């Protein structure tokens, strides 16, 4: 049996109608599992391929609008029903439902949503944190540190390979591709 | 948002981009720190990396001297550095693909990936753990369908275990175990409830 790959869940993002994204940290990169109606689509962002790591705080106006409208939609009738003694229990029920929508709306408006995005050469990973701001900061620092270490190790490895080939390390971007017909390249 | 920005958001992955609007970021000219997107004005903190380029040495057959070298099966002017472990063809460093502890040529890699024989390349899986927990939850919420949906929860739970063993992963085992137990209980409980319910109906 294949040795289990040690995966540590970093977080993810929930979507609409049964879709979800989970991000795990493994030894050599990040694994992104997109769960959509019973099917998991997996992609990887290797630390060696990371080009940029971003962090920003957003509010999510669609979320705020929908929850705000729902809170108002249940809260206003609830208040009106409370005024009527006969409909007092119904008013309480409406207000409880309104609170269920109002609390996340208020929390999101106040705290925002921290989003960390890791851009690789072929794909990206997005991790969202709502209430756990310290964890967002910690994960951001951990990912950056892991990328730095992996790319430094890769640079050392490639330098050793180049030394074995007898080439000097390139100063800047790789040289442009040579055309067809020249010796040494078969493509 | 411009029409161009909207179009960019639905296209395939383009590389480093503004996390607000998705417009491609000029990675080559950026430095680490606070960034301001020129397209949408969104601010974000960006850490820029420039990954090292892997060296690739391609040896020409003609450079190998009088003894010569075996030529690559795909590139006749390139010297072979190894052989494919599946088909045995000699391959150069351009063709060499190391995957799942095997050295393969591009054709064998494509063939094995299409067959699903390379676990590290496989990208799509059935979410058996999620299906098991959904089936178990439905059986709990709607007890009268427990005898019918409980077996599905048990089946998906076992499939989740087998999938985890095959992939070498431990994620979802607890959820699958709970779904199996719940599925078993709701199957048996549903049968008992239906028996007593039908007995009362017959008695009336």
Residue B20 in any domain: the answer is no
Residue of B nearest to A165 (CA): B57
Q: Which residues of B touch A54 (CB under 8 A)?
A: 19, 35, 44-47
Residue B21 in any domain: the answer is no
Give the start-to-end residue ranges of the domains of chain A.
9-59+112-164, 61-111
Check residue B191 and give its pLDDT. Answer: 82
Contact A185 B131 (CB under 8 A): no
Q: Which residues of A touch B47 (CB under 8 A)?
A: 52-54, 144
C-alpha span between B107 and B74 (Å, rounded): 10
Strands B82-83, B90-91: parallel, antiparallel or unpaired by DSSP? antiparallel
Domain identity same for B115 and B135: no
Strands A52-58, A113-119: parallel, antiparallel or unpaired by DSSP? antiparallel
Contact A52 B168 (CB under 8 A): no
Interface of A with B in 46-75 (CB under 8 A): 48-56, 58
Residue B171 in any domain: the answer is yes
Check residue A172 and give its pLDDT. Answer: 40
Asked which of A131-140, A153-162, A178-187, B39-48 is least confident by mean pLDDT, the reply is: A178-187
pLDDT in tens, B46-105: 999 999 987 777 777 766 655 557 888 888 888 888 899 999 999 888 888 888 888 999
pLDDT in tens, A7-33: 777 877 666 566 788 898 988 899 988
**SS3 per-residue string spanning A151-176:** HHHHHHHHHHHHHHHCCCCCCCCCCC
Q: Which CATH number fits domain A9-59+112-164: 3.40.640.10, 3.30.230.10, 2.40.50.140, 2.30.29.30?
A: 2.30.29.30
Q: Band of the pLDDT at A131, cuts 50, 70, 90?
A: confident
Residue B35 in any domain: the answer is no
Q: Which residues of B touch A174 (CB under 8 A)?
A: 53
* DSSP sequence for B81-133: -EE-TTT--EE-TTT-EEETTEEE-HHHHHHHHHHT--TTT--EEE-HHHHHH
C-alpha span between B25 and B19 (Å, rounded): 9
Pair of tokens at residue B27:
């990675």
Query: Is A91:A81 a contact under the CB 8 Å cutoff?
Result: yes
Query: Could you give the strand order of the β-sheet that contains A39-46, starting from the edge strand earlier in sequence?
Result: B33-36, B43-48, A52-58, A113-119, A124-129, A8-14, A19-26, A29-36, A39-46, B124-126
Domain identity same for B191 and B133: yes
The yes-or-no verdict on residue A182 having pLDDT over 60 is: no
Domain identity same for B92 and B144: no
CB distance from A175 to chain B under 8 Å? no
The yes-or-no verdict on residue A175 having pLDDT over 80 is: no
Domain identity same for B106 and B74: yes
Domain identity same for B180 and B145: yes
CA distance B122 to chain A (A): 8
Q: Band of the pLDDT at A6, cuts 50, 70, 90?
A: low
Residue B92 in any domain: the answer is yes
Domain identity same for B144 and B187: yes
Q: Which domain holds residue B180?
A: 128-199
Pair of tokens at residue B122:
């496989």
SS percent in chain B: helix, strand, coil, step 5: 45, 15, 40
- ipTM exceeds 0.85, yes or no: no
Q: Which of A40, A43, A187 sits opposite B75 (nearest CB)?
A: A187
Query: Is A94:A81 a contact under the CB 8 Å cutoff?
Result: yes
> Residue B65: how many CA atoms within 13 Å on its side-chain side?
1
Residue B80 in any domain: the answer is yes
Residue B169 in any domain: the answer is yes
Element spanning B190, H or E: helix B173-203
Check residue A171 and give its pLDDT. Answer: 44
Q: Which residues of A touch B51 (CB under 8 A)?
A: 48-51, 121, 151, 154
CB distance from A149 to chain B under 8 Å? no
Residue B194 in any domain: the answer is yes
**Percentage of residues in chain B with pLDDT exceeding 70?**
88
Q: Which of B54, B60, B169 sits opposite A5 (nearest CB)?
A: B169
The model carries a pTM of 0.73
Overall number of domains in chain B: 2
Check residue B36 and give its pLDDT. Answer: 92
CB distance from B100 to chain A under 8 Å? no
Interface of B with A in 37-76 (CB under 8 A): 42-55, 57-58, 60, 62-63, 72, 74-76
Q: Which residues of A touch B130 (CB under 8 A)?
A: 35, 38
Q: What average pLDDT score do residues A113-129 get?
A: 92
Q: Which of A79-88, A128-137, B112-121 has the highest mean pLDDT?
A: A128-137
Contact A165 B57 (CB under 8 A): yes
CA distance B74 to chain A (A): 9
The yes-or-no verdict on residue A174 having pLDDT over 60 is: no
**SS3 per-residue string spanning A20-77:** EEEEEEECCEEEEEEEECCEEEEEEEEHHHCCEEEEEEECCHHHHHHHHHHHHHHHHH
Check residue A168 and give its pLDDT. Answer: 47
Q: Which of B30, B49, B171 sits opposite A50 (nearest CB)?
A: B49
pLDDT in tens, B132-170: 888 988 888 887 788 889 999 999 999 988 888 877 776
């Amino acid at each position: 049996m294949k040795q289990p790959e040690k995966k540590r869940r970093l977080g993810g993002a929930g979507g609409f109608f049964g879709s979800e994204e989970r991000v795990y940290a493994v030894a050599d990169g990040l694994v992104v599992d997109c769960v959509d109606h019973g099917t998991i689509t997996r992609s990887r962002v290797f630390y060696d391929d990371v080009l940029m790591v971003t962090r920003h705080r957003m509010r999510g106006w669609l979320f705020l609008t929908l929850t705000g409208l729902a809170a108002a939609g249940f809260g206003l009738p609830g208040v009106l029903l409370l005024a009527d003694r006969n409909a007092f229990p119904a008013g309480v029920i409406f207000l409880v439902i309104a609170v269920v929508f109002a609390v996340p709306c208020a929390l999101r408006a106040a705290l925002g949503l921290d989003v960390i995005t890791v851009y690789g050469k072929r794909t990206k990973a997005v991790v969202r944190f709502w209430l756990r701001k310290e964890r967002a900061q910690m994960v951001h620092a951990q990912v950056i540190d892991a990328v730095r270490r992996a790319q430094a190790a890769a640079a050392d490895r490639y330098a050793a390979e180049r030394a074995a080939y007898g080439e000097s390390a390139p100063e800047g971007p790789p040289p442009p591709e040579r055309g067809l017909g020249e010796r040494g390249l078969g493509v | 948002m411009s029409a161009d920005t909207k179009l960019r958001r639905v296209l395939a992955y383009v590389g480093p981009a503004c996390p607000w609007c998705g417009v491609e970021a000029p990675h080559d000219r950026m430095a680490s720190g606070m960034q301001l997107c020129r397209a949408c004005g969104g601010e974000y903190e960006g850490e820029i990396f420039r990954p090292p380029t892997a060296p690739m040495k391609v040896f020409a057959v003609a450079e190998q001297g009088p003894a010569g070298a075996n030529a690559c099966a795909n590139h006749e002017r390139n010297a072979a550095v190894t052989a494919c472990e599946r088909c045995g063809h000699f391959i150069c460093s351009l063709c060499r693909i190391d995957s799942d502890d095997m050295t393969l040529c591009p054709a064998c890699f494509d063939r094995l990936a299409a067959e699903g024989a390379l676990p590290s390349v496989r990208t799509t899986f059935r979410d058996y753990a999620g299906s098991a927990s959904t089936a178990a939850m439905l059986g709990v919420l709607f007890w009268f369908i427990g005898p019918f949906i409980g077996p599905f929860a048990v089946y998906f739970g076992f499939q989740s275990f087998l999938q985890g063993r095959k992939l070498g992963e431990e994620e979802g085992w607890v959820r699958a175990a709970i779904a199996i137990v719940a599925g078993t209980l709701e199957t048996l409980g549903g049968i008992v409830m239906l028996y007593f319910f039908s007995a009362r109906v017959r008695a009336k």
